[in-house]
Amino acid sequence: MIGLIIAGHGEFAKGINSVIELVAGTQENVATVDFLENHSTDDLKNNLKEKIEKMNTEGTLIFTDIPGGSPFKMAVELSMEHDDIEVIAGTNVPMIMEILFDRENVDLLELKNRAMEVGKKQIVTFEMKKKQKQQDEDDGI
């Protein structure tokens, strides 16, 4: 099974995980690492390492909040030190939910790519009001 770690500034990781647990229940080999105000980047990196070691999985996919932020940078550093770690920034809930139950059936790169694909597709906007207004104007209403 591939382990998942959610990491981010403030309580981002805890918040994302609370949504996952509400919808899908507590999941095996899913961990969170929040980067709080009183933490150093060394603390952050050590917390990530600890979570990875505790899970003892076939690989780890780390989801972070902001590309270029400290959680992302520390995760990337770890991925450069270990071949079995991949990192995604710009995390949203649907990308994690999509892969949550398929972590035993695919390899790490395939899982990462699928999460990326779903994450991008799930960024949508609601346009009905604008279309209706334009239709009304076109109809002379």
CA distance 28 to 23: 14
Calpha distance 133→120 (Å, rounded): 28
Whether the Cβ atoms of residue 99 and residue 115 lie closer than 8 Å to each other: yes
Tell me the pTM. Answer: 0.88
23-73 pLDDT per residue, tens: 999 999 999 999 999 999 999 999 999 999 999 898 999 999 999 999 999
DSSP bridge pairs for 88: 63
pLDDT tens digits, residue range 86-140?
999 999 999 999 999 989 889 999 999 999 999 999 988 877 666 666 777 777 7
- The whole-number pLDDT of residue 128 equals 67
